[in-house]
Amino acid sequence: MDETPKNLWENTDLSKYLFHVTIPTIDSTIESENVDERVVYIGDLEKRKQAYGICGECKEPGTGNKWCQPCNAKRFKDNFKNWTSENKDIDEFIQQSQLNAVHYNKYLEWIPFEKFQNITYIAEGGFGKIYSAEWPEGHIEFWDIINQKWYRNNFGEYALKSLNNNSSDVCSDFLNEIKSHLQIHLVDIVQCFGITQDPNNKEYMMVIEYCDDGNLRNYLNRSKNYINYNLKIYQLQQIARGLLDIHNAEKVHKDFHSGNILISKRFSYISDLGMCQPTNIKQTVKEEGIYGVLPYMAPEVLRGQQYTKAADIYSFGIIMNEFLSEEIPFNDIPHDEFLAIKICKGLRPTISKDIPKLLADLIIKCWDPEIKNRPITKELYQLLTRWDGEKYNSETEIYFQIEECDKIRKEKFKNRSSEDKPKSFKIHPQAIYTSRLLNFKNLSKPVNSLDLSSFQFSSDTSYTTQSTSANPISECLDVQLSELELNEICQDNEYNIE
Protein backbone atom coordinates (compact mmCIF):
# COMPACT_ATOMS: atom_id res chain seq x y z
CA MET A 1 0.00 0.00 0.00
CA ASP A 2 1.34 3.41 -0.99
CA GLU A 3 2.02 5.39 2.18
CA THR A 4 3.26 8.51 0.31
CA PRO A 5 1.34 11.55 1.56
CA LYS A 6 -0.89 12.96 -1.15
CA ASN A 7 -0.35 16.48 -2.33
CA LEU A 8 -3.72 18.04 -1.63
CA TRP A 9 -2.72 21.63 -2.29
CA GLU A 10 -5.09 23.54 -4.51
CA ASN A 11 -4.06 26.49 -6.63
CA THR A 12 -5.46 29.85 -5.55
CA ASP A 13 -8.16 31.28 -7.79
CA LEU A 14 -7.04 34.92 -7.83
CA SER A 15 -10.26 35.95 -9.56
CA LYS A 16 -12.02 35.11 -6.28
CA TYR A 17 -9.34 35.66 -3.67
CA LEU A 18 -6.54 38.08 -3.07
CA PHE A 19 -4.51 37.22 -0.01
CA HIS A 20 -3.45 40.27 1.93
CA VAL A 21 -1.49 39.88 5.11
CA THR A 22 0.45 42.41 7.11
CA ILE A 23 2.77 41.49 9.95
CA PRO A 24 3.42 44.44 12.28
CA THR A 25 6.64 42.84 13.57
CA ILE A 26 8.58 39.69 12.79
CA ASP A 27 7.04 38.01 15.80
CA SER A 28 3.96 35.80 15.70
CA THR A 29 1.36 38.56 15.66
CA ILE A 30 -0.66 38.40 12.45
CA GLU A 31 -3.20 40.88 11.21
CA SER A 32 -5.10 41.31 7.95
CA GLU A 33 -6.38 44.43 6.24
CA ASN A 34 -9.61 44.64 4.29
CA VAL A 35 -8.76 46.04 0.86
CA ASP A 36 -11.96 44.81 -0.79
CA GLU A 37 -14.45 41.97 -0.61
CA ARG A 38 -12.00 39.46 -2.10
CA VAL A 39 -9.59 39.51 0.82
CA VAL A 40 -8.87 36.16 2.44
CA TYR A 41 -8.57 36.56 6.20
CA ILE A 42 -5.85 34.39 7.67
CA GLY A 43 -8.10 33.68 10.65
CA ASP A 44 -11.06 32.58 8.52
CA LEU A 45 -10.79 28.78 8.46
CA GLU A 46 -13.30 28.08 5.69
CA LYS A 47 -11.92 30.74 3.37
CA ARG A 48 -8.40 29.46 3.97
CA LYS A 49 -9.54 25.97 2.95
CA GLN A 50 -11.17 27.30 -0.21
CA ALA A 51 -8.30 29.57 -1.23
CA TYR A 52 -5.21 27.68 -0.10
CA GLY A 53 -6.15 24.01 0.15
CA ILE A 54 -5.34 21.45 2.83
CA CYS A 55 -1.82 20.44 3.87
CA GLY A 56 -1.17 16.85 2.83
CA GLU A 57 0.83 16.23 6.02
CA CYS A 58 -0.92 17.86 8.98
CA LYS A 59 -4.35 18.08 7.23
CA GLU A 60 -4.72 21.71 8.31
CA PRO A 61 -5.59 24.55 5.91
CA GLY A 62 -2.69 26.52 4.57
CA THR A 63 -1.87 30.12 5.40
CA GLY A 64 -0.63 30.95 1.90
CA ASN A 65 -0.59 29.44 -1.57
CA LYS A 66 0.70 25.89 -0.96
CA TRP A 67 2.18 27.04 2.36
CA CYS A 68 1.62 25.38 5.74
CA GLN A 69 3.06 27.70 8.36
CA PRO A 70 3.35 25.19 11.26
CA CYS A 71 4.92 22.44 9.12
CA ASN A 72 7.32 24.79 7.37
CA ALA A 73 8.34 26.45 10.64
CA LYS A 74 9.40 23.04 11.98
CA ARG A 75 11.36 22.30 8.78
CA PHE A 76 13.14 25.63 8.96
CA LYS A 77 13.92 25.19 12.66
CA ASP A 78 15.39 21.74 12.12
CA ASN A 79 17.73 23.30 9.54
CA PHE A 80 19.00 26.16 11.74
CA LYS A 81 22.08 24.13 12.70
CA ASN A 82 23.13 23.80 9.06
CA TRP A 83 23.76 27.47 8.29
CA THR A 84 24.98 30.72 9.81
CA SER A 85 25.78 34.20 8.60
CA GLU A 86 28.35 34.45 11.40
CA ASN A 87 26.40 37.43 12.66
CA LYS A 88 24.09 36.82 15.62
CA ASP A 89 21.65 39.60 14.76
CA ILE A 90 21.24 38.46 11.16
CA ASP A 91 20.86 34.81 12.17
CA GLU A 92 18.09 35.64 14.64
CA PHE A 93 16.41 37.98 12.18
CA ILE A 94 16.29 35.32 9.45
CA GLN A 95 15.23 32.60 11.88
CA GLN A 96 12.30 34.64 13.17
CA SER A 97 11.14 35.33 9.62
CA GLN A 98 11.20 31.59 8.87
CA LEU A 99 9.37 30.59 12.02
CA ASN A 100 6.56 33.07 11.42
CA ALA A 101 6.26 33.09 7.61
CA VAL A 102 2.63 32.78 6.54
CA HIS A 103 3.50 32.79 2.84
CA TYR A 104 6.57 32.06 0.73
CA ASN A 105 7.19 35.77 0.23
CA LYS A 106 7.34 36.33 4.00
CA TYR A 107 10.45 34.29 4.76
CA LEU A 108 14.17 35.02 4.34
CA GLU A 109 17.14 32.77 3.67
CA TRP A 110 20.82 33.09 4.37
CA ILE A 111 22.31 32.64 0.90
CA PRO A 112 26.06 31.97 0.67
CA PHE A 113 27.66 34.37 -1.84
CA GLU A 114 29.22 31.51 -3.81
CA LYS A 115 25.75 30.42 -4.92
CA PHE A 116 25.54 33.47 -7.17
CA GLN A 117 27.00 33.59 -10.67
CA ASN A 118 27.73 36.30 -13.24
CA ILE A 119 27.50 39.17 -10.76
CA THR A 120 27.31 42.47 -12.64
CA TYR A 121 27.27 46.03 -11.34
CA ILE A 122 24.15 47.93 -12.46
CA ALA A 123 23.95 51.29 -10.74
CA GLU A 124 24.28 53.28 -7.54
CA GLY A 125 21.39 55.15 -5.99
CA GLY A 126 21.10 57.52 -3.08
CA PHE A 127 21.50 54.77 -0.49
CA GLY A 128 23.30 51.83 -2.06
CA LYS A 129 24.69 49.89 -4.99
CA ILE A 130 22.72 47.44 -7.11
CA TYR A 131 24.10 44.35 -8.87
CA SER A 132 22.47 41.68 -11.01
CA ALA A 133 23.30 38.02 -10.45
CA GLU A 134 22.18 34.55 -11.41
CA TRP A 135 21.03 32.21 -8.65
CA PRO A 136 20.70 28.75 -10.27
CA GLU A 137 19.16 27.18 -7.17
CA GLY A 138 16.41 29.79 -6.97
CA HIS A 139 14.14 30.72 -4.07
CA ILE A 140 11.76 28.55 -2.05
CA GLU A 141 8.07 28.61 -3.01
CA PHE A 142 6.59 25.62 -1.17
CA TRP A 143 7.30 22.20 0.31
CA ASP A 144 7.01 19.38 -2.24
CA ILE A 145 5.11 16.85 -0.13
CA ILE A 146 5.53 13.96 -2.57
CA ASN A 147 9.29 14.36 -3.06
CA GLN A 148 9.88 15.65 0.48
CA LYS A 149 11.98 18.65 -0.48
CA TRP A 150 11.62 22.37 -1.06
CA TYR A 151 10.30 23.35 -4.46
CA ARG A 152 12.42 26.22 -5.72
CA ASN A 153 11.60 28.66 -8.49
CA ASN A 154 14.48 30.17 -10.45
CA PHE A 155 13.80 33.68 -11.73
CA GLY A 156 17.06 33.56 -13.69
CA GLU A 157 18.36 36.93 -12.58
CA TYR A 158 18.15 38.42 -9.12
CA ALA A 159 19.29 41.77 -7.77
CA LEU A 160 21.79 42.24 -4.96
CA LYS A 161 21.52 45.52 -3.05
CA SER A 162 24.12 46.81 -0.63
CA LEU A 163 23.68 49.92 1.50
CA ASN A 164 26.15 52.78 1.50
CA ASN A 165 27.95 51.96 4.70
CA ASN A 166 31.68 52.10 5.29
CA SER A 167 31.43 49.57 8.09
CA SER A 168 31.01 45.83 7.70
CA ASP A 169 28.62 45.92 10.67
CA VAL A 170 24.95 45.50 9.95
CA CYS A 171 23.33 48.86 10.47
CA SER A 172 19.77 49.20 11.70
CA ASP A 173 18.71 50.79 8.39
CA PHE A 174 19.65 47.59 6.56
CA LEU A 175 17.53 45.33 8.78
CA ASN A 176 14.71 47.88 8.95
CA GLU A 177 14.43 47.97 5.17
CA ILE A 178 14.22 44.18 5.04
CA LYS A 179 11.70 44.19 7.87
CA SER A 180 9.49 46.50 5.81
CA HIS A 181 9.46 43.89 3.04
CA LEU A 182 8.19 41.33 5.55
CA GLN A 183 5.54 43.63 6.97
CA ILE A 184 3.90 44.61 3.68
CA HIS A 185 1.85 42.53 1.25
CA LEU A 186 4.16 41.92 -1.71
CA VAL A 187 2.24 41.65 -4.98
CA ASP A 188 3.23 45.11 -6.22
CA ILE A 189 6.35 45.61 -4.11
CA VAL A 190 9.73 44.14 -5.00
CA GLN A 191 10.22 40.93 -3.03
CA CYS A 192 13.20 40.29 -0.78
CA PHE A 193 14.33 36.65 -0.69
CA GLY A 194 17.19 36.79 1.75
CA ILE A 195 20.58 38.13 2.78
CA THR A 196 24.10 37.40 1.57
CA GLN A 197 27.57 38.83 2.17
CA ASP A 198 30.29 39.78 -0.27
CA PRO A 199 33.41 37.99 1.05
CA ASN A 200 35.70 40.61 -0.50
CA ASN A 201 34.44 43.78 1.17
CA LYS A 202 32.31 42.07 3.88
CA GLU A 203 29.25 44.09 2.85
CA TYR A 204 25.89 42.52 3.61
CA MET A 205 23.46 42.57 0.69
CA MET A 206 19.74 42.10 0.23
CA VAL A 207 18.73 39.52 -2.40
CA ILE A 208 15.71 40.97 -4.15
CA GLU A 209 13.59 40.55 -7.24
CA TYR A 210 15.25 41.67 -10.47
CA CYS A 211 13.22 43.83 -12.86
CA ASP A 212 14.61 43.60 -16.38
CA ASP A 213 13.13 46.88 -17.66
CA GLY A 214 14.79 48.91 -14.91
CA ASN A 215 13.16 51.89 -13.28
CA LEU A 216 10.26 53.85 -14.71
CA ARG A 217 12.43 56.40 -16.48
CA ASN A 218 14.57 53.72 -18.14
CA TYR A 219 11.42 51.89 -19.18
CA LEU A 220 10.00 54.99 -20.89
CA ASN A 221 13.25 56.00 -22.56
CA ARG A 222 14.21 52.57 -23.86
CA SER A 223 10.82 51.40 -25.07
CA LYS A 224 10.90 50.60 -28.79
CA ASN A 225 7.14 50.34 -28.92
CA TYR A 226 4.48 52.93 -28.21
CA ILE A 227 3.15 52.59 -24.65
CA ASN A 228 -0.56 53.34 -24.90
CA TYR A 229 -2.80 54.75 -22.20
CA ASN A 230 -4.54 51.42 -21.67
CA LEU A 231 -1.28 49.88 -20.51
CA LYS A 232 -0.25 52.95 -18.53
CA ILE A 233 -3.53 52.98 -16.59
CA TYR A 234 -3.03 49.29 -15.79
CA GLN A 235 0.51 49.93 -14.55
CA LEU A 236 -0.53 52.99 -12.54
CA GLN A 237 -3.20 50.88 -10.89
CA GLN A 238 -0.48 48.43 -9.84
CA ILE A 239 1.62 51.23 -8.36
CA ALA A 240 -1.43 52.58 -6.51
CA ARG A 241 -2.16 49.09 -5.19
CA GLY A 242 1.41 48.77 -3.92
CA LEU A 243 1.15 52.15 -2.22
CA LEU A 244 -2.17 51.06 -0.71
CA ASP A 245 -0.46 48.00 0.76
CA ILE A 246 2.22 50.20 2.31
CA HIS A 247 -0.39 52.48 3.81
CA ASN A 248 -2.57 49.57 4.95
CA ALA A 249 0.45 48.36 6.89
CA GLU A 250 0.33 51.82 8.55
CA LYS A 251 3.59 52.88 6.96
CA VAL A 252 4.70 55.67 4.64
CA HIS A 253 7.29 55.22 1.90
CA LYS A 254 8.99 58.62 2.34
CA ASP A 255 11.20 58.30 -0.76
CA PHE A 256 8.62 57.83 -3.49
CA HIS A 257 9.90 58.79 -6.96
CA SER A 258 10.22 57.28 -10.44
CA GLY A 259 13.64 55.82 -9.68
CA ASN A 260 11.94 53.61 -7.08
CA ILE A 261 9.31 52.31 -9.50
CA LEU A 262 10.62 49.21 -11.29
CA ILE A 263 9.12 47.58 -14.37
CA SER A 264 9.31 43.95 -15.42
CA LYS A 265 7.28 42.35 -18.19
CA ARG A 266 4.73 45.18 -18.07
CA PHE A 267 4.27 44.83 -14.31
CA SER A 268 5.10 47.73 -11.98
CA TYR A 269 6.71 47.33 -8.57
CA ILE A 270 7.58 49.70 -5.74
CA SER A 271 11.13 49.33 -4.44
CA ASP A 272 13.55 50.89 -1.94
CA LEU A 273 11.76 50.70 1.38
CA GLY A 274 14.81 51.96 3.27
CA MET A 275 13.06 55.10 4.50
CA CYS A 276 9.70 53.39 5.03
CA GLN A 277 8.47 53.92 8.58
CA PRO A 278 5.29 53.57 10.67
CA THR A 279 2.84 56.44 10.44
CA ASN A 280 2.25 56.48 14.18
CA ILE A 281 5.86 57.43 14.95
CA LYS A 282 6.08 61.17 15.38
CA GLN A 283 8.62 62.52 12.96
CA THR A 284 11.35 64.73 14.29
CA VAL A 285 13.06 66.72 11.58
CA LYS A 286 16.77 66.48 12.19
CA GLU A 287 18.83 69.62 12.14
CA GLU A 288 20.81 68.40 9.17
CA GLY A 289 17.68 68.17 7.02
CA ILE A 290 15.53 65.63 5.20
CA TYR A 291 16.30 63.03 2.54
CA GLY A 292 14.58 62.79 -0.81
CA VAL A 293 14.45 63.79 -4.47
CA LEU A 294 13.34 67.41 -4.58
CA PRO A 295 10.86 67.39 -7.54
CA TYR A 296 8.83 64.60 -5.90
CA MET A 297 8.70 66.00 -2.38
CA ALA A 298 5.49 67.53 -1.05
CA PRO A 299 5.70 71.22 -0.11
CA GLU A 300 4.78 70.57 3.52
CA VAL A 301 7.67 68.07 3.76
CA LEU A 302 10.07 70.64 2.31
CA ARG A 303 8.97 72.95 5.12
CA GLY A 304 9.83 70.32 7.73
CA GLN A 305 6.33 69.21 8.63
CA GLN A 306 5.28 65.67 9.55
CA TYR A 307 5.55 63.17 6.70
CA THR A 308 2.11 61.62 6.15
CA LYS A 309 0.39 59.29 3.73
CA ALA A 310 -0.74 62.42 1.89
CA ALA A 311 2.91 63.23 1.13
CA ASP A 312 3.21 59.86 -0.64
CA ILE A 313 0.06 60.77 -2.59
CA TYR A 314 1.70 64.03 -3.69
CA SER A 315 4.70 62.05 -4.92
CA PHE A 316 2.36 59.66 -6.73
CA GLY A 317 0.90 62.66 -8.59
CA ILE A 318 4.37 63.69 -9.80
CA ILE A 319 5.16 60.10 -10.80
CA MET A 320 1.81 59.73 -12.56
CA ASN A 321 2.39 62.89 -14.57
CA GLU A 322 5.92 61.77 -15.50
CA PHE A 323 4.61 58.38 -16.59
CA LEU A 324 1.80 59.79 -18.74
CA SER A 325 3.63 62.76 -20.24
CA GLU A 326 7.00 60.95 -20.48
CA GLU A 327 8.65 64.18 -19.35
CA ILE A 328 11.08 64.32 -16.43
CA PRO A 329 9.91 66.84 -13.81
CA PHE A 330 12.04 69.99 -13.63
CA ASN A 331 14.81 68.46 -15.70
CA ASP A 332 16.19 71.73 -17.10
CA ILE A 333 16.64 73.77 -13.92
CA PRO A 334 18.78 73.43 -10.79
CA HIS A 335 17.27 71.44 -7.95
CA ASP A 336 18.10 74.04 -5.36
CA GLU A 337 16.45 76.23 -2.74
CA PHE A 338 14.81 78.38 -5.41
CA LEU A 339 12.97 75.40 -6.84
CA ALA A 340 11.87 74.45 -3.31
CA ILE A 341 10.53 77.98 -2.87
CA LYS A 342 8.65 77.79 -6.16
CA ILE A 343 7.12 74.43 -5.25
CA CYS A 344 5.85 75.93 -2.00
CA LYS A 345 4.50 78.86 -4.02
CA GLY A 346 2.49 76.51 -6.27
CA LEU A 347 4.86 75.50 -9.08
CA ARG A 348 4.22 72.05 -10.53
CA PRO A 349 5.61 70.15 -13.56
CA THR A 350 4.09 70.39 -17.02
CA ILE A 351 0.84 68.57 -17.67
CA SER A 352 0.81 67.65 -21.34
CA LYS A 353 -2.27 68.63 -23.32
CA ASP A 354 -2.56 65.11 -24.72
CA ILE A 355 -3.14 63.49 -21.32
CA PRO A 356 -6.81 62.44 -20.90
CA LYS A 357 -8.61 65.05 -18.81
CA LEU A 358 -9.82 62.53 -16.21
CA LEU A 359 -6.22 61.51 -15.55
CA ALA A 360 -4.98 65.12 -15.57
CA ASP A 361 -7.63 66.06 -13.01
CA LEU A 362 -6.47 63.22 -10.76
CA ILE A 363 -2.85 64.37 -11.03
CA ILE A 364 -3.86 67.88 -9.96
CA LYS A 365 -5.78 66.51 -6.97
CA CYS A 366 -2.78 64.42 -5.89
CA TRP A 367 -0.38 67.34 -5.84
CA ASP A 368 -2.76 69.86 -4.32
CA PRO A 369 -0.90 71.97 -1.71
CA GLU A 370 -3.70 71.33 0.78
CA ILE A 371 -3.35 67.86 2.28
CA LYS A 372 -7.09 67.56 2.87
CA ASN A 373 -7.79 68.00 -0.87
CA ARG A 374 -5.64 65.06 -1.95
CA PRO A 375 -7.36 61.69 -2.43
CA ILE A 376 -6.69 58.98 0.13
CA THR A 377 -4.86 55.91 -1.15
CA LYS A 378 -7.91 53.68 -1.30
CA GLU A 379 -9.79 56.25 -3.40
CA LEU A 380 -6.80 56.54 -5.71
CA TYR A 381 -6.61 52.78 -6.17
CA GLN A 382 -10.35 52.35 -6.64
CA LEU A 383 -10.54 55.13 -9.22
CA LEU A 384 -7.68 53.73 -11.30
CA THR A 385 -9.20 50.25 -10.98
CA ARG A 386 -12.52 51.56 -12.27
CA TRP A 387 -10.88 53.25 -15.25
CA ASP A 388 -8.85 50.11 -15.92
CA GLY A 389 -12.14 48.22 -16.16
CA GLU A 390 -13.86 50.88 -18.28
CA LYS A 391 -11.07 51.61 -20.76
CA TYR A 392 -12.39 49.13 -23.35
CA ASN A 393 -16.03 50.13 -22.92
CA SER A 394 -16.94 52.48 -25.77
CA GLU A 395 -19.77 53.96 -23.71
CA THR A 396 -17.47 55.40 -21.03
CA GLU A 397 -15.82 58.80 -20.88
CA ILE A 398 -12.37 57.35 -20.21
CA TYR A 399 -12.61 55.29 -23.40
CA PHE A 400 -13.25 58.36 -25.58
CA GLN A 401 -10.54 60.41 -23.90
CA ILE A 402 -7.99 57.62 -24.33
CA GLU A 403 -8.91 57.14 -27.99
CA GLU A 404 -8.42 60.81 -28.76
CA CYS A 405 -5.20 61.27 -26.81
CA ASP A 406 -3.63 58.04 -28.07
CA LYS A 407 -3.97 59.31 -31.65
CA ILE A 408 -1.95 62.41 -30.80
CA ARG A 409 0.73 60.59 -28.85
CA LYS A 410 1.11 57.82 -31.43
CA GLU A 411 1.95 60.43 -34.02
CA LYS A 412 4.56 61.94 -31.72
CA PHE A 413 6.05 58.52 -31.08
CA LYS A 414 6.15 57.77 -34.81
CA ASN A 415 8.12 60.95 -35.44
CA ARG A 416 10.49 60.11 -32.62
CA SER A 417 10.98 56.49 -33.65
CA SER A 418 11.66 57.49 -37.27
CA GLU A 419 14.89 59.02 -35.99
CA ASP A 420 15.78 55.55 -34.63
CA LYS A 421 16.92 57.08 -31.35
CA PRO A 422 15.77 56.65 -27.77
CA LYS A 423 14.03 59.61 -26.23
CA SER A 424 16.61 61.97 -24.84
CA PHE A 425 16.32 64.81 -22.35
CA LYS A 426 18.50 67.77 -21.68
CA ILE A 427 19.29 67.37 -18.00
CA HIS A 428 20.58 70.37 -16.11
CA PRO A 429 23.89 69.54 -14.37
CA GLN A 430 22.32 70.59 -11.05
CA ALA A 431 19.18 68.51 -11.55
CA ILE A 432 19.72 65.58 -9.18
CA TYR A 433 17.40 62.56 -9.21
CA THR A 434 18.95 60.44 -6.46
CA SER A 435 17.96 60.78 -2.82
CA ARG A 436 20.14 63.19 -0.89
CA LEU A 437 20.16 65.38 2.16
CA LEU A 438 18.17 68.61 1.80
CA ASN A 439 17.83 71.40 4.29
CA PHE A 440 15.48 74.30 3.62
CA LYS A 441 14.49 76.78 6.31
CA ASN A 442 11.91 79.57 6.42
CA LEU A 443 10.13 78.33 3.30
CA SER A 444 6.77 79.93 2.67
CA LYS A 445 3.50 78.21 3.48
CA PRO A 446 2.36 76.00 0.55
CA VAL A 447 -0.17 77.88 -1.55
CA ASN A 448 -1.99 77.61 -4.83
CA SER A 449 -0.53 80.71 -6.40
CA LEU A 450 -1.80 79.51 -9.76
CA ASP A 451 -5.04 78.14 -11.11
CA LEU A 452 -4.07 74.47 -11.08
CA SER A 453 -7.21 73.49 -12.99
CA SER A 454 -5.57 74.93 -16.11
CA PHE A 455 -2.03 73.96 -15.22
CA GLN A 456 -0.03 74.00 -18.47
CA PHE A 457 3.57 75.05 -19.02
CA SER A 458 5.35 75.58 -22.29
CA SER A 459 7.82 72.78 -22.93
CA ASP A 460 10.41 75.27 -24.19
CA THR A 461 10.09 77.72 -21.32
CA SER A 462 13.37 79.44 -20.57
CA TYR A 463 14.47 79.16 -16.96
CA THR A 464 17.02 81.61 -15.69
CA THR A 465 16.96 81.06 -11.93
CA GLN A 466 20.46 80.48 -10.58
CA SER A 467 21.62 79.22 -7.22
CA THR A 468 23.51 81.62 -5.00
CA SER A 469 24.74 78.95 -2.62
CA ALA A 470 28.46 78.49 -2.27
CA ASN A 471 28.25 74.90 -3.43
CA PRO A 472 25.11 74.50 -5.58
CA ILE A 473 25.54 70.75 -6.08
CA SER A 474 26.41 69.95 -2.48
CA GLU A 475 24.95 66.81 -0.98
CA CYS A 476 23.18 69.08 1.50
CA LEU A 477 21.36 72.20 0.40
CA ASP A 478 21.03 74.60 3.32
CA VAL A 479 19.42 78.01 2.99
CA GLN A 480 17.95 80.46 5.48
CA LEU A 481 15.99 83.30 3.94
CA SER A 482 13.72 85.91 5.40
CA GLU A 483 10.16 86.34 4.20
CA LEU A 484 11.21 89.59 2.50
CA GLU A 485 13.98 87.79 0.62
CA LEU A 486 11.55 85.07 -0.41
CA ASN A 487 9.16 87.62 -1.82
CA GLU A 488 11.96 89.32 -3.73
CA ILE A 489 13.07 86.01 -5.22
CA CYS A 490 9.55 85.17 -6.29
CA GLN A 491 9.13 88.59 -7.92
CA ASP A 492 12.50 88.63 -9.64
CA ASN A 493 12.52 85.07 -10.94
CA GLU A 494 8.98 84.39 -12.12
CA TYR A 495 8.60 81.47 -14.51
CA ASN A 496 6.86 82.08 -17.82
CA ILE A 497 3.51 80.36 -17.89
CA GLU A 498 1.43 80.15 -21.05
Domains and CATH numbers, the chain: 8-66 (no CATH), 85-209 (3.30.200.20), 214-416+425-438 (1.10.510.10)
Across residues 422-447, what is the average pLDDT?
75
Cβ atoms of 190 and 211 closer than 8 Å: yes
Reported in sequence order, the residue ranges of 31-105 that DSSP labels E, i.e. its strands, are: 31-32, 39-40
**Distance from C-alpha of 139 to C-alpha of 155, rounded to nearest angstrom:** 8
Number of H helices, E strands in the chain: 13, 19
Q: Is the dihedral of CA 456, 459, 463, 467 positive or negative?
A: positive
Q: Residue 468: which pLDDT band, with cuts at 50, 70 and 90?
A: very low
**What Rg, from alpha-carbon coordinates, does the chain have?**
24
pLDDT of residue 115: 97
Cβ atoms of 232 and 191 closer than 8 Å: no
Which residues lie closer than 8 Å to 182 by C-beta, 6 or more apart? Answer: 23, 26, 97, 106, 108, 192
Q: What is the pLDDT of residues 168-226, one digit of tens each?
A: 456 677 888 888 888 876 678 889 999 999 999 888 999 999 999 999 999 998 888 89
Please indicate whether residue 490 or residue 204 has the higher confidence score (pLDDT). 204
Report the percentage of the chain scoring pLDDT > 90. Answer: 48
Arithmetic mean of pLDDT over the chain: 79
Report the percentage of the chain scoring pLDDT > 70. Answer: 72
Residue 462, Cβ density class (10 Å: 0-12 exposed, 13-18 middle, ≥19 buried): exposed
**Distance from C-alpha of 321 to C-alpha of 356, rounded to nearest angstrom:** 11
User: Buried (b) or exposed (e) across 23-38, using 16+ Cβ within 10 A?
Assistant: beebeeebebbebeee
Cβ atoms of 226 and 409 closer than 8 Å: yes
Cβ atoms of 292 and 343 closer than 8 Å: no
Query: For residue 495, how many other CB atoms are within 10 A of its CB?
Result: 16
